[in-house]
Structure 1
């Protein structure tokens, strides 16, 4: 038979007060029940913990040693209770976030900063990957939350819409297309195009729209970094398509943004969580922050 924490609590009450009557009151039990609990504990340990005299109670040497151990155990349990309450309330814990590059560069850091202002003891990690990778990481539980465009086949995910993100053409200063305030996908066809060489949502959208126009997308340049893309555009070597959200994070000197007038040029940005997993308090708290951000 193992020692119970209740027996430890009763022992500590008697050890601290050295009074059976006071310890019984502190433990909200009868004095006979307290005496019985102490006797059972001594029997389990195989040693006497208290010397009992007519008007006096005193810890034995074994009792003194057990008192030190029991005090440490009690403090550890009290500390654990505090920590788990803080976790349940969202004050402590860990939050893993995956975000597509257009959101990882600007929106996600702003959301994390606002979240940590309210929950400074949460450990937050951010991974910037393409939309497919975001969803894969969410599926296997590598991350708790994904910030991505809405996913059409999303039955395995909870999708909370956050805002609409506009796509548009990025043009060098003085380009003929800057004379128009709104562009169509067809307007882009005659000009050299630079794209990011990825399978992300943006590239898929551009490929799809060019196919609808009856053309196969043949970029003049395929690059890995948005900074490289903007450099080529700035020098007049190409035009490109990017989200307005992402461009807010870059220097647009000598560049012009023109929105594309098409439903496909607007995408709903969502906060994704897994249907198959119970969300942590930190996830719920982060969602509330995202929902209230301008």
Structure 2
């Protein structure tokens, strides 16, 4: 027979009240039920813990020695139960998210502030990486949720919400495209382009959007990071194409952001989790907030 929480709580109550009657009232038990709990605890310990007479109840020497140990065990277990309940109700815990850098640098900070306002004990573990790595981290359970780009074809991933991220052209103020009212695919094909590296979700959209043009397009540079692409545009190496939500597109006062008059320049984005896995309650709460931060068509 093992020690259990109710029996330990019964001993502490009787010791503090000095009476079975008062302890039973405190615990909302009948006195016979409380007596059974104390006897069960004495059987487990193998020693009498209380001396009883018609007037009072007193701890035996063994009971006095055990009381501080059992009181500490009771407090530790109650703390564990409280923490477990907070985790189960989404009032604490870690939110492990892998997401596109554009999302991490634009919408995510505000969402975290909103979440911390609702759940102050929320902790965030953030991996801001390209779409293929987002998918891999969620698939391998290194992240519980992901905000990824492009079509989600992985059968191991479940899509929780979808949206879009429109792409825009970024060029210097003195560039010919900066003066045009409307920019189309053919305009982009006639100027050197600074495109994010192959394998990124933005590059996949751009390649698909320009693939139908007769004339080949000129890729001047292929940086990995959007801020690097912006720096190359600032240096005059070409025009870049980035998500409208990316803060990098507005980081330079000397650059102009132009909408692209072509529906093909839209990146699909999705909130994903691993199929068949239950999200922690706190992460489930955050997903509801994320849905509000993802632009839908």
TM-score between the two structures when normalised by the length of structure 1: 0.90
How far apart, in 1, do the equivalents of 2:232 and 2:248 lie? 18
How far apart, in 2, do the equivalents of 1:10 and 1:86 lie? 25
| 1:100-111 pair list within 5 angstroms | 100-111=100-111
User: Quick one: structure 1 residues 40 and 90, their matched pair in 2 at CA, closer, same or farther if it must change by over 3 Å?
Assistant: closer
Offset, 1:186: 1.9
Partner-residue secondary structure (3-state), 2:282? helix
Q: State whether residues 131 and 150 of structure 2, in contact with CA within 8 Å, keep that contact through their aligned partners in structure 1.
A: no
Other-structure match for 1:146: 146
Offset, 1:95: 0.5
User: Quick one: structure 1 residues 68 and 183, their matched pair in 2 at CA, closer, same or farther if it must change by over 3 Å?
Assistant: same
Partner-residue secondary structure (3-state), 1:58? strand
Partner-residue secondary structure (3-state), 2:209? helix
Deviations 1:145-192 (A, max 9, x none): 21223534265312313x532112111212222232222222111211
| 1:117-266 pair list within 5 angstroms | 117-153=117-153, 156-161=157-162, 163-214=163-214, 218-247=218-247, 250-266=250-266
Other-structure match for 2:267: 267
TM-score between the two structures when normalised by the length of structure 2: 0.89
Deviations 1:64-90 (A, max 9, x none): 121111211221222223222222232
Deviations 1:228-264 (A, max 9, x none): 3222212322111111111466423221121112222
| Shift >6 Å, 4+ stretches | none
User: Quick one: structure 1 residues 153 and 215, their matched pair in 2 at CA, closer, same or farther if it must change by over 3 Å?
Assistant: farther
Q: State whether residues 99 and 108 of structure 1, in contact with CA within 8 Å, keep that contact through their aligned partners in structure 2.
A: no
Offset, 1:108: 1.8
Other-structure match for 1:283: 283
How far apart, in 2, do the equivalents of 1:278 and 1:88 lie? 12
